[in-house]
Structure 1
Amino acid sequence: MKAPISWIKEYVDVPADVTTDEITRRLTMTGLKLEAIDSPGAQITGPLVIGRVLTMEPEPQKNGKVINWCTVDVGDANGTGQPQGIVCGAHNFAPGDLVVVILPGGVLPGNFAISERKTYGHLSAGMICSTSELGLPEDDDGIIVLPSDAGEPGQDVRSVLGLDEEIIEFEVNPDRAYGLSLRGIARDLAVSVEGATNFRDPAIRDTPAANDQGHPVVLEDTVGCPVFVARKVTGFDPSAPTPSYISQRLVAAGMRSISLAVDITNYVMLETGRPIHGYDADKLRGAIVVRRARAGETLTTLDGTDRTLSTEDLVVTDDSGIIGLGGVMGGETTEMGESTTSILVESAHWDAVSMFRTGKRHKISSEAGKRNERGVDPTICEAAADRVVELLVAHGGASADPGVTVVGTPPEAPVITVSGDKAALVSGMEISEETAVEALRAVGCDVTGSGTLTVVPPPWRPDLTDAQDTTEEVIRLVGYDKVPSVLPIPPAGRGLTRAQQLRRRFGRAAAAEGFTEIVTFPFVGESDFDALGIPTDDVRRNALRLANPLSNEAPLMTTTVLVGLLRAAARNVGYGASSFGLFETATVTLPTGGVAPILPVDARPSKEEFAALDAALPRQPLHIALVGVGEADASGWWGEGRGVTWADAVEAVRAVADSVGLSVTTRGVEMAPWHPGRCAELSVAGEVVGHAGELHPKVCTALGLPRGSVAAEADLDVLIEHAVHLRPAPTFSTQPLAKEDVALVVDETVAAADVEAALRSGAGDVLESIRLFDVYTGQQVGAGKKSLAFALRFRADDRTLTEKDTSAFRDAAVAAAVAKVGAVQR
C-alpha cells in the first residue's frame, strides 16, 4: 500500500517536529511494516517546468513517421523569455495546451540527460514529457496535458504533479485489511506516534436515510452479501476532467488515472478502504439481484475475459442476466464509458472467504478483490456511497437522485472475554489492566468489566476474534520494542543429555580417524537405490513418500545415509579431489505402516490420541556413514602410499564403537552396495549394528567413484543403548606379557569371527588381546579348508605367568575352538 504523507496528515494532526522516518518507525512497530519511502521526482534534476504550446507543425518523415515541430512558451525558465523549439513525436495535444517540459541540463529517471541537439532537421532544446518519462505510472494517451488552471508557463511543475511528495509504501499483512486505506493508516498513526492527535475519520459523515425511491435490490444470499447500498446520480458529464489532486494521489498510490467516474470510485476506496463499483444506470434492466451463480453460467468481465462461473461464485444480476462478479470485477454490459451520464453507485459488503475463493478460481487480482477478500468494515457502505456521490456531483456536474437503497444489515461483531492481566502475562512487561483497556479503546474496541474484560472489536477489525488477538493488540500498541529480553535460566547441574554427549563423542572419533563431517539432504529417488544396486525386494526400498517433495526426482525420505554421502563423495571427485574421507551422522526414516489419525482442532488431543499419533510415526534411528576414497596413507618422498581397503572402513567403525567402550565383532556377508567377499557385518553385544567394506565396482561406476572406494554404515542408537557413558580409567598390570600363537584349520564356510569368539571363551580372563594375523588356503590344509593363525597375548594382574600357565590357557582356548567350530590345530 502506497500512501502520500500529506494525504495521511489530512486525517490526523502530527507535530511539526515528527519526521517521516519517525512516523514509519512507529507504524512499523505497530504492524504496518515500512517497505520504502519514495518521492516520484527524486531522480529528476534540473528545470522541469510548465510550458504552453504556441505552435505545432506536423512534418512527415521518410520513414513514415510524423513528428511535430513545436514552439513552447516556458516563461523565463530558459533565461531568455523566448519560446523554446522542441521536436515531439506525440499527437495528443494541441496549441494552447499546458504541457510538462524539461529543459537542457535536466536529468530524467534512468540518468537520461537532456541537452540541446539537432534532430529531424531542427535544433530541439528540451523535451515535452510523458508519464513514463517522468517515472510515473504509464498513461497510453502520450504526453501529459495539464489542466488549464495548473499554473503559468515557466513555473516549476513538481508541486503540480506531486513529484515532491513523500510517499510511504507499507507491507500490509493479510489480516490487517484496514491498512489498505488512508483511514486505517491514519488511525494507527494517531495511536502510535507520540503527539499525534485529532484523528478525523473520513467514513464518519451524515448520510441520507434509506427510502423506497432508490433502485430496487434483492439479496438472495445474505451470507455472501449481507449489505448492499445503491445510490444514483444523473446528468453526469463524462468528459469532465479529473481534478489534479485526485489524479496525483491516485498516481502516488500506484494507480492510473482513467476517467473522472472511475477515478472517484478508486479514490474513495483508497480513502476509506471500501471498494465501490459504478454501473451505467441506463444499461441496467430491472432490479439488481445478488445470488450464487448457476451451473453453466458465463460472464464477460471488464478485462474482456469470458469466464465460466462456479456455483460458489457470488454474482450481481438484473433482468438481462449477470452483470458482475460480486466484489471482484464488474461485467462489460453495464460498464461506464464515454457516453455515461447516469451512474448507479454500488457499495456492498461481501463475504471475505467467498471473495478469496472466487479470485483464486478465476485468477483475478484486483484492488477491490484484494480488500474484500481480507475483510472490510461492513458499517461504512452508506458513508462510502455518499462520498462517491458527493464527488461526482462536485466535479462531474451531476445531480444526486433522491432515492437511497440500503438492503440488509452488517454482521454482528464477536464478543471476546479476556483476562485484564493477560497481556502482562504473555509479554513479560508490566502492563496494567488500565493500560490494556486504554490500548483496546484506542483501536476502537468497546471494553467493559474489571478483572475479566468483555471486548467488542470495531467493525473495521475482522481479524480480532479471540483473546489472543486482543492481547496482541495491547502488546503492539504498548510497543514490541519494550518487551524485555530475558533468557531462561537453566537448572544447575544440567547440560547435554547422555545421547548428545555420546553423539559428539562419535563425531570426534570419526574425525580422529581422518574423516571430514558433512551434511546432506535426506531425500532420495528410486534411481538412487538402483545406483547402489539395492534389490527391489530389499527392506531399504520401503521408503516414506513425501506429499510435496522439493524435487520429483527425489520424492522419498532416505532409509540409508549412504545415498547422500556417496553423492557428495562423487561430487568431490568431480571437482578433482583424489583422496579423502567423509562421514555423516543423520537420522534415516523407516516406515512402520501406521496411518496417523485426523484429529479435531478445537481441543487438545487426549493421551490416547497422542499415542495413536506416535504409533503412526516412522522410526527414525540415528546412523553414521563413512566413505573413503583414494589413499589411506599418502605417498611421498618417504615411499609409496597405501590405498584404502575394506579393513579401513571396518576399523573406522571399530574406533567409533571403542570411543564409548564397545567392541565390534565382524563376519563376512554379501550385501549391496558392497563387493561380494569384501563386506563385513558389524555386531555389538550380539546385535547387528551395520556393515562395512569395499563398494561394488558397478556402484563405483554408476556414482562416478574410483574403484576400490570403501564405505560403512552403522546404527548409532544401538551403540548409544549399549555404550559405557562414563568409562573407568584404564588399569595397567606391571606383570610381563606372555605370547602364544596358534594356527587352526577350519572349513572355508566358518567365519574368522566365530573362531575368534571360541578362542576368547576358552582362554579366560587372562587373555589380554587376540589378533588374526594370517589366513592360508592351499594343498597343505586340503580342499574346502583354510588355516587361521591367531596371536594370543596373556597377562595376569597378580603374578608372572609361567610357561606352564600360558600353555594351559592356550590349550583351553584351542579346545573351545575344536568343540564350537570343529577346528583342528596345525
Structure 2
Amino acid sequence: MRVPLSWLREYVDLPAGVTGREVADRLLAIGHEVEAVEQLGAGLKGPLVVGQVLAIEELSGFKKPIRHCQVDVGDANGTGEPQSIVCGATNFAVGDQVVVVLPGGVLPGDFQIAARKTYGRMSEGMICSARELGMSDEHDGIIVLPPGQQVGADAIELLGLVDEVLDIAVTPDRGYCLSLRGIAREAATAYGVALRDPALLDVPAGTGPGPAVNVEDTAGCDRFVARAVTGLNPEARTPLWMQRRIQMAGMRPINLPVDVTNYVMLELGQPLHAYDRGQLAGPITVRRATAGETLRTLDDVERTLDPRDLVIADDRGAIALAGVMGGASSEINHTPGGAVGPTTDVVIEAAHFDAMTIARAARRHRLSSEAARRFERGVDPRAAGVAAQRAVDLLCMLGGGTAEPGVTDVDATTPPTPVVIPADHPDRVAGTSYGRDTVVRRLQDVGCGVTGADELTVTPPTWRPDLVGPNDLAEEVIRLEGYHLLPSTMPTLPPGLGLTARQRLVRTVGRTLAGDGWIEVQCYPFVGDAAWDAFGLDADDPRRTAVRLSNPISDEEPLLRTTLLPGLLATLRRNEGRGNSDVALYETGLVFHPRPGGGRIERLPVDRRPSDEELAALDAALPEQPRHVAGVLAGARERAGWWGEGRPAGWADAVRAAQLVADAARARVTVRQAEYAPWHPGRCAAFVLVGEDGAERVVGHAGELHPRVVTALGLPARTAAFELDLDALAGASGGPVQAPRVSTFPVATQDVALVVPEATPAAEVAGALREGAGELLESLRLFDVYTGQQIGEGYKSLAYALRFRAPDRTLTVEETTAARDAAVALAGERTGAVLRGA
C-alpha cells in the first residue's frame, strides 16, 4: 500500500515537520513493514508554471512531428510575453493549458532546462509530460490540464509534485491497512492523537427502492449496496488533486466515474464498481457461474468461468467476476463519439464478498486486481453503505450528476463474535505486566468494544476479521505497546528426565560423525519422480511409493522423501559448483512412508482437548516417519601436503562412517556385499541386524554410487554415500555402555592368514574366528587382503591380528595357540577357510 504523507495528514494531526521516515519508524514499532519512503519531486526546481497554448506551427522535414508553440505563461518569465517552445507531442491543441518548465528550472534526474536552438527554432523551456515530472511512467504525450487554471500559477503546488510516499507491505491478516483509513488509524495510535475517520459520513436512508438487485448466494455475498447517479456530464474530467493522489497510490487515472470508485477504495478500503446503467439488461443478480459460461473482462480477455466462481449478472449473462474484475459489456464509456454513447447514468456497486471465494477465483483465472487483494484479506462489511454514499457525493460534486433517492441494501451480515479473555492474558503471553487499564485502552485503540473486569468480553470491530481468539487480542496489545519494550526472559523449564534415548542417540551420532570430519546439513524433505529416475529405481521399488503433498511448494517436487539421499546429493552438487570440491556431508532426519490404509487427516478441535479416539485416528492417518542418518562424500578424504600424499574419498570411507554410526548406537551389525540402487553393484555394502531369533533385517547401505547415477545428477566421479535406519539401530542397542576392564597381565598376539573363496565376506570369517577363539580373545582386526597368483584365481587371502588376554593370569603359548587353532578350525568349518601356506 502506497500512502502519500500529504493525504495521510488529512486524517491524522501528525506533528508539524515530521518526515516520512519518522512516520515509517513509528509504524515499524507497532508491527508494520515499511519497505521504502519515496521522496517525490527530489531535485525538482522551478520555475514550473501553468501555460496556455496560443499558437502552434507544424514544422516539416523531420522524421517525427515537431511543433513550434507560442505559450502564454503570464508574468512567470518576467516579461509577460509568450514563450517560444519546440515540442514533439501532438496531443494538445491551441487553447489547451499545459505544464511548462522555464529556463533555469531543473527536472527530476538533474535535468537542467536552458534556452537553446533546436530544429531551427529557439526553444525557451519545455512543455512537460507526466514521466518527465516523475508523476508516472506515462510518456505518450504531455500533460493537458483541466481548463480554468490560472496562467502562470506554480504547477509544483498545483500538481502536488513534492511529497513523501510510504510503501507499506501489508500482511495478509491486516487487510484494513490497504486503505488510507486503516493506515491513518495505525498512525493515530502510534502518535497518540485523534483520528478523523473518513467513514464518519451521514448516510441518509433511502426514500425508495434503488437499482434492482437479487442476491442468490448470500454465502458468497452477504451484503450488496447499489446506488444510481444520473445526468453525469460526459465532458467532466477528474480534478488534478484526485488524479495526483491516485497516481501517488500507484494506480492510473482513467475517467471520472472509474477514478472516483478507485479513490474511495484507496480512502476507505471498500472496493467499488461502476456500471453503465444504459448497458444493463434487467436487474443485477449475484450468483454462481453456470458451466461453460463466458465473460469478457475489462482486460479484453474472454474467460471461461468455473461453476465455483461468483459473478454479477443481468438478464443477458455475467457482467463481472465478483470482487475481481468487471466485464466489458457494462464498461464505463467516457469517450464521446464512440460506437456506444458516453456514459451519463451509472450504478455504483459496494458489496461484501466471501474472502475465500474471491481468492480462489483470482488464482483460478490468474487475475490479480486491487479489489481482489482487498477482498481476499477481509473488507469491513459495514463500510459498503458509507463507500457508496461517498462515491455518489463525489460524482454529483465533480460530474454534475444527480443521486437517485432510492438505495438498495441487501444485508445478510452477522455481527462479530465476542471473545472472552482474562485481563492478564497479554501479560502472560508477553512475560511482562501491562495491567488491565493498558489492555483495555489498547484494545479500544484497535476499535474493539470492551466490557468486564478481571475477565474481559471483547467485541472486535467489523474491519478486523482476523481477531478471533485471545492470542490475537494479546498480539494487538503487545505490538501497540511496542515489541522493542518486551523483556528478554528465559522460560522456566519444568523438571524432567532430560533428553530421551532417541535424542541422546541423535546427538551421539552427530558428535561421532563430526569428529570424523563430516559436516551436518539440513535439507528440504521434498522430492520428485525425477530423483527416482536418476537413481535408477525400478517401477515397483518401495521408495517410489511416497506421500504426495496437496499444496507443494514446487510442482517439480510434490512428494515427501523416502530417503535422505536426494537432498544430500543436491547439496553436494551445489557445493561442488561453488568450488568446494572436498566435501563430506551428513544429515539426520525423518523419511516418510505412506501407512497402508491411512485415511484423511481431519482438523482437530481447538475449543477442547481432542478425544483419545480423535488422536488415534490422526495417528493412524499420518505416514510412518522413521529417523534416518545419511552421508555423502567426494573429493579428497585426506589432503596432500608436506606430511605426504593425500587420499581420495571412496567407498571404504562411506562404509567406515556407517560402521561408526552403528558402533555409536551400540548395535551389532554384519556387513555384507549387496546390490542396491543407487549404489555400484560391486562397491555396495549392506548392514544387517541379526535378531536373537536369527531373523535378519537390512538397516542400511553404504558404498560408491553407480556411475550412471553420478552422471545423471552431475556429481563428482567416485561419489560415495551411506544411509542407515537410525530408529532400527536404536532398537537393537546393546544397552548401557560397559566400561572396559583394565588388565595388568600382558597381551598375546597371534596373526593368521586364511585363504577363502573371493566371494566370501570378510565379516563372516571374522565372526567365525571371534566365536571360535572364545573368551580369551580381546580383539580381532583385519589388516591385509591379498589376491594374486600365489593364492590362485577366484581366491583371496585375509590376514587377521588376534589379541588374547586373561583377566587373572599370564597366558601361556599353549593356551593362545589352542585358542587360535580353535578359531581357525571354526572358520574353516563355516567358510571353507584354510591357513595360507598349509
Contact 2:418 2:457 (C-alpha < 8 Å) held by counterparts: yes
Q: Which residue of 1 aligns with 2:808?
A: 798
Bigger mean CA deviation after superposition, 648-657 or 251-260 = 648-657
Q: Which residue of 2 aligns with 1:415?
A: 417
Instruction: Give the letter for the 1:480 counterpart.
Output: Y
Identity %: 50
Instruction: Give the letter for the 2:774 counterpart.
Output: G
Instruction: Give the letter for the 2:262 counterpart.
Output: N
Alignment partner of 1:160: what SS? helix
Q: Which residue of 1 aligns with 2:169?
A: 171
Contact 1:597 1:612 (C-alpha < 8 Å) held by counterparts: no
Q: What is the Cα deviation at residue 622 of structure 1?
A: 2.0
Residue 598 of structure 2 corresponds to residue 602 of structure 1: no
Q: What is the Cα deviation at residue 617 of structure 1?
A: 1.7
Residue 56 of structure 2 corresponds to residue 56 of structure 1: yes
Is there any run of 5+ residues in structure 1 with no aligned partner, and where?
none
Q: Which residue of 2 aligns with 1:240?
A: 236
Instruction: Give the letter for the 1:160 counterpart.
Output: L
Contact 1:546 1:555 (C-alpha < 8 Å) held by counterparts: yes
Contact 1:624 1:713 (C-alpha < 8 Å) held by counterparts: yes
Q: TM-score, normalised by structure 2?
A: 0.83
Cα–Cα, structure 1 residues 652 and 44, in superposed 2: closer, same or farther, change >3 Å? same
Q: Which residue of 2 aligns with 1:14?
A: 14
Q: Which residue of 2 aligns with 1:35?
A: 35
Alignment partner of 1:3: what SS? strand
Aligned equivalent of 1:808, options 795, 798, 818: 818
Contact 1:67 1:90 (C-alpha < 8 Å) held by counterparts: yes
Residue 267 of structure 2 corresponds to residue 257 of structure 1: no
Paired residues for 1:575-586 under 5 Å: 580=582, 582-586=584-588
Quick one: distance in 2 between partners of 1:170 and 1:393? 32
Q: Which residue of 2 aligns with 1:740?
A: 750
Q: Deviations over 1:70-95 (max 9, x none)?
A: 23344565566654321112233344
Contact 1:416 1:467 (C-alpha < 8 Å) held by counterparts: no
Aligned equivalent of 1:329, options 326, 331, 341: 326
Cα–Cα, structure 1 residues 56 and 612, in superposed 2: closer, same or farther, change >3 Å? same
Bigger mean CA deviation after superposition, 474-483 or 559-568 = 559-568
Quick one: distance in 1 between partners of 2:573 and 2:379? 57
Instruction: Give the letter for the 1:332 counterpart.
Output: S
Quick one: distance in 1 between partners of 2:639 and 2:203? 91
Instruction: Give the letter for the 1:211 counterpart.
Output: T
Contact 1:277 1:330 (C-alpha < 8 Å) held by counterparts: no
Contact 1:420 1:436 (C-alpha < 8 Å) held by counterparts: no
Q: What is the Cα deviation at residue 131 of structure 1?
A: 1.1
Q: Deviations over 1:81-117 (max 9, x none)?
A: 6543211122333444432122344443345443444
Paired residues for 1:87-236 under 5 Å: 87-138=86-137, 142-153=141-152, 155-194=153-192, 196-197=193-194, 199-212=195-208, 214-236=210-232
Q: Which residue of 2 aligns with 1:349?
A: 351
Cα–Cα, structure 1 residues 433 and 114, in superposed 2: closer, same or farther, change >3 Å? same
Quick one: distance in 2 between partners of 1:170 and 1:574? 38
Quick one: distance in 2 between partners of 1:573 and 1:207? 68
Alignment partner of 2:775: what SS? coil
The number of aligned residues is: 819
CA RMSD of aligned residues (A): 4.2
Cα–Cα, structure 1 residues 415 and 52, in superposed 2: closer, same or farther, change >3 Å? same
Alignment partner of 1:350: what SS? strand
Q: Deviations over 1:436-491 (max 9, x none)?
A: 33333333333333343333333333444444444443444333343333222456
Quick one: distance in 1 between partners of 2:461 and 2:648? 77
Quick one: distance in 1 between partners of 2:289 and 2:667? 73
Q: Which residue of 2 aligns with 1:459?
A: 462
Quick one: distance in 2 between partners of 1:9 and 1:183? 11
Q: Which residue of 1 aligns with 2:694?
A: none
Residue 587 of structure 2 corresponds to residue 589 of structure 1: no
Instruction: Give the letter for the 1:755 counterpart.
Output: V
Contact 1:8 1:186 (C-alpha < 8 Å) held by counterparts: yes
Q: What is the Cα deviation at residue 239 of structure 1?
A: 1.4
Q: Which residue of 1 aligns with 2:433?
A: 430
Instruction: Give the letter for the 1:349 counterpart.
Output: A
Quick one: distance in 2 between partners of 1:540 and 1:319? 57
Q: What is the Cα deviation at residue 160 of structure 1?
A: 0.6
Paired residues for 1:383-782 under 5 Å: 383-401=386-404, 403-409=405-411, 411-421=413-423, 422-490=425-493, 499-513=502-516, 528-529=531-532, 538-545=541-548, 556-562=559-565, 580=582, 582-587=584-589, 589=591, 591-594=593-596, 595-603=598-606, 604-615=609-620, 616-627=622-633, 629=635, 634=640, 647-658=652-663, 665-672=670-677, 679-683=684-688, 688-693=698-703, 711-721=721-731, 730-742=740-752, 751-772=761-782
Contact 2:658 2:724 (C-alpha < 8 Å) held by counterparts: yes
Cα–Cα, structure 1 residues 50 and 419, in superposed 2: closer, same or farther, change >3 Å? same
Larger Rg: 1
Alignment partner of 2:253: what SS? coil
Q: What is the Cα deviation at residue 786 of structure 1?
A: 6.7
Quick one: distance in 1 between partners of 2:273 and 2:80? 48
Cα–Cα, structure 1 residues 313 and 650, in superposed 2: closer, same or farther, change >3 Å? closer
Alignment partner of 1:170: what SS? strand
Aligned equivalent of 2:271, options 271, 275, 296: 275
Cα–Cα, structure 1 residues 803 and 150, in superposed 2: closer, same or farther, change >3 Å? same
Instruction: Give the letter for the 1:177 counterpart.
Output: G
Quick one: distance in 2 between partners of 1:745 and 1:756? 13
Q: What is the Cα deviation at residue 666 of structure 1?
A: 3.6
Alignment partner of 1:167: what SS? strand
Instruction: Give the letter for the 1:50 counterpart.
Output: V
Q: What is the Cα deviation at residue 128 of structure 1?
A: 0.4
Quick one: distance in 1 between partners of 2:526 and 2:446? 48
Cα–Cα, structure 1 residues 161 and 729, in superposed 2: closer, same or farther, change >3 Å? same
Q: What is the Cα deviation at residue 815 of structure 1?
A: 4.7
Quick one: distance in 2 between partners of 1:535 and 1:631? 32
Q: What is the Cα deviation at residue 163 of structure 1?
A: 0.9
Quick one: distance in 2 between partners of 1:381 and 1:512? 67
Alignment partner of 1:57: what SS? strand
Quick one: distance in 2 between partners of 1:514 and 1:439? 55
Q: What is the Cα deviation at residue 584 of structure 1?
A: 1.5
Q: Deviations over 1:579-604 (max 9, x none)?
A: x5624233362525332432134355
Q: Deviations over 1:254-288 (max 9, x none)?
A: 33333333333333333333334444445556555
Q: What is the Cα deviation at residue 636 of structure 1?
A: 7.4
Alignment partner of 1:134: what SS? coil
Q: What is the Cα deviation at residue 129 of structure 1?
A: 0.4
Alignment partner of 2:161: what SS? coil
Is there any run of 5+ residues in structure 2 with no aligned partner, and where?
692-696
Cα–Cα, structure 1 residues 350 and 312, in superposed 2: closer, same or farther, change >3 Å? farther
Q: TM-score, normalised by structure 1?
A: 0.85
Cα–Cα, structure 1 residues 167 and 736, in superposed 2: closer, same or farther, change >3 Å? closer
Contact 1:645 1:708 (C-alpha < 8 Å) held by counterparts: yes
Quick one: distance in 2 between partners of 1:593 and 1:602? 24
Cα–Cα, structure 1 residues 220 and 659, in superposed 2: closer, same or farther, change >3 Å? closer
Alignment partner of 1:266: what SS? helix
